[in-house]
Structure formats: C-alpha cells, structure tokens
Amino acid sequence: MTKRILVTPGEPAGIGPDLCLSLAQHHFDSEIILVADPEMLKMRALLLGLDLIQLQQVDLNSAPQPHQPGTLKVLPVSCGANCEPGKLNPQNAGYILKTLDIAIDACLNNQADAVTTGPVNKAVINDAGIPFTGHTEYFQQRCHTDRVVMMLATEELKVALATTHIPLRKVADAITPELLEEVMDVLMHSLQTDFGLEKPRLLVAGLNPHAGESGHLGSEDEEIIAPVIQQWRELGFPVTGPLPADTLYARHWLDQADATLAMYHDQGLPVLKYSGFGRALNITLGLPIIRTSVDHGTALDLAGTGHANNGSLLVAIHYAEKMAANRARHAN
C-alpha cells in the first residue's frame, strides 16, 4: 500500500523550503505532503526559478497516491508573518510548531505513516518566548514517550546519543544508571526491530578522557557506564565498552560494530558529520510514530540561493518510507 510521508520544511528563513521544493524533481513510491505555507513556498520557488512546480492542496482524508514528479502536495498552514530568506523572525515560531503539531497528530491518528522534518533554529523559537530544545524532545513530549534516543546514521556508521540538547556542564550529572538503562533499552530494541539486527554489536563510549583512566580521570566510566554494559553482556549481547571515545571512532573498532553510543551530542556527531555530512539522517528512536530528519541545520547563508544540497533530506525521506514499510510488515 502507498505510504504517506509528511514533510515539515522547518524554519521558513532557512534552506528547508528550498530543499522541499527540490523534492518535486524526484521519484518516490510514497505520497509526499509538505506541511507548509503555500504562499511562502511560491515566493521561494519564484526566487529559485522553480515556479513551474504545481502546488496541489490536499487533505488527509483522501487515500495516499504516489508522488508525481513536477508536482508537490501541500497541507496548507499560514506563516502569518513576513518571511525573508536568511532573516529569522520570531513571529514565525508559532507557525513552525503548528506544522510539527499537525504532522505529529496525523501520524498518531494513523492519517500518515511518517514525518520527516526540515531544520529549525532552536534559538528563534525561544526568542519568541516558547521553550524549545529540539525536535527530539518536542516529539517525545507531544507523543507522551518516557525515553527517546537521537541517532544519526549513514550506511556505514550509526551514532546514538545518551544525552541530547543540554549544556556540557550538565552532561556528567545526567549520565545516571537509570538514564543509561533506558537509553540502552530503546536503542537495542530499535536496532533489532527497525534495523533488523538480531544481536546488535554496539560500542559504548566512556564519558571521560581514556574512559576515566581506571578512575584517575573521573569515576562515571567504571561506576555508571560499565555496569550497564555488563548487564547486556550477561544477556548475551556483544556490547563493548566503555571505550575511550577517541579510540572507539577509529576504523579498527568501527569495523567490528553495527552501532555506537556516545555520551553527548558533540562527542559522537562530529565524527558522523566528518564522514557523512549530506548523506546522513537523524532518527528519533523510541517514539510510537516514525520521525526522521536531516543531518544539517538551517544554513541561513544558503537560503534562496539554490546552493543547498538535498542529499540528506532524500535519505531521510527514503528511510522513513523503509521504516514505514517495515513496521507495516511487522504489524501483519
């Protein structure tokens, strides 16, 4: 059956709208629907010389039809405020969150099979007076899910994160046995069900330099991370660590693993972006719905220029399609 994927362009001043417009030129087996302001899209299309694309308004009660190149389906949501490429406007924060809410609700109500999100600027949403740390936490909250895990992935490397958008100063306190147990549960379950890895080979990074150097450079590695790893090893899973993060991301170790778990955002993601920026996707594991996303930010400098690369958005949509088909197979 044809799947329905909702795509939110994210920050309207960024490259999200440009990338979404580029989808008209691609083939998808599923139905692709942008949840966005059609007027904003038309203005961006004009700027980019893509104004021949037919924008078709849809509602979610119709049966999904495969994507037709040259056309784009749009579920209309009005920006309500001025929107210039490259210029953030806090007055559009409500619009951005509304597109996410519509997409989340449609998935929760089984009117759509997955949502793929474009990048948002977290600061401008906060500047509008709305506390917002990221899609990951927003989807967790809106789906009433106790624990989710952020994972960025390419064909060759999967990097999951134990903590997401918190200040570095708070990371060590956040690494508790309870957190790690929950993160490992979500991660291992998703690697098994969504990625078909029966016994995932996982490398877990330590928190401190040299994984604590036997306790001389911090106690978290031995006292908190190692016992959680041991629990999984006793269940027969090939989980290795805590490894010094610099060693873990060396080819020697990665060649023996299906996935890696980093303790914080900037421990794992620079490696992923160095090796695969532009062809990676971001997935929120543990949600009742499917959410994939791009591996990059709003790139305000490129909005409206035609120089933004849509590789990651294509990967994120294709992966959402794959996950939706997988879940439908499991459900039958």
Ligand X SMILES: NCC(=O)COP(=O)(O)O
Ligand Y SMILES: NC(=O)C1=CN([C@@H]2O[C@H](COP(=O)(O)OP(=O)(O)OC[C@H]3O[C@@H](n4cnc5c(N)ncnc54)[C@H](O)[C@@H]3O)[C@@H](O)[C@H]2O)C=CC1
Q: To 10 degrees, what angle do helices 177-193 and 226-234 make? A: 40
CA distances from 125 to 7, 89, 130, 166, 292 (A): 19, 9, 6, 16, 20
Sheet containing 4-8, strands listed edge to edge, beginning at the edge strand earlier in sequence: 54-57, 71-76, 31-36, 4-8, 114-117, 291-294, 281-285, 149-153, 158-161, 259-262, 202-205, 239-243
Check whether 210 is labelled as a binding-site residue. yes
Which single residue is written with the structure tokens 């993060």? Answer: 245
Q: Select from 45-53, 129-137, 170-178, 312-320 the region that touches ligand X (CB under 6 A).
A: 129-137
Question: Rounded to the nearest 10 degrees, how much is the dihedral formed by the CA atoms of 60, 66, 67, 73?
Answer: -10
- Which residues inside 67-126 make contact with ligand Y, applying CB under 6 A? 119-123
Decide which of ligand Y, ligand X, none touches 6; Cβ closer than 5 to 8 Å per partner kind: none
Residues 90 and 80: their CA atoms lie apart, in Å, by: 11
Which token pair is 132? 């917002």
Question: Beta-carbon neighbour count of residue 76 at 10 Å?
Answer: 15
Least distance in angstroms from the C-beta of 136 to ligand X: 3
Decide which of ligand X, ligand Y, none touches 40; Cβ closer than 5 to 8 Å per partner kind: none
Among 17, 38, 85, 134, binds ligand X (CB under 6 A): 134
Residues 291 and 288: their CA atoms lie apart, in Å, by: 9
Decide which of ligand X, ligand Y, none touches 73; Cβ closer than 5 to 8 Å per partner kind: none
Q: Does position 30 bind ligand X by CB under 6 A?
A: no
Q: Does position 140 bind ligand Y by CB under 6 A?
A: no
How many chain residues are in contact with ligand Y, going by CB under 6 A? 19
CA atoms within 13 A on the CB side of 138: 22
Q: CB-wise, 224 or 294, nearer to ligand Y?
A: 294
Binding mask 264-303 for ligand X (x = CB under 6 A): -----x------------x----------x----------
- Which residues inside 284-313 make contact with ligand Y, applying CB under 6 A? 293-294, 296-299, 301-302, 308-309
* Among the listed residues 19, 259, 282, the one whose alpha carbon sits nearest the alpha carbon of residue 165: 282
Q: Does position 154 bind ligand X by CB under 6 A?
A: no
Least distance in angstroms from the C-beta of 52 to ligand X: 32
Decide which of ligand Y, ligand X, none touches 89; Cβ closer than 5 to 8 Å per partner kind: none
Q: Does position 24 bind ligand Y by CB under 6 A?
A: no
Which token pair is 29? 């087996």
Q: Which residues bind ligand X (CB under 6 A)?
A: 134-136, 269, 282, 293
Binding-site residues: 135-136, 165, 210, 265, 273, 282, 291
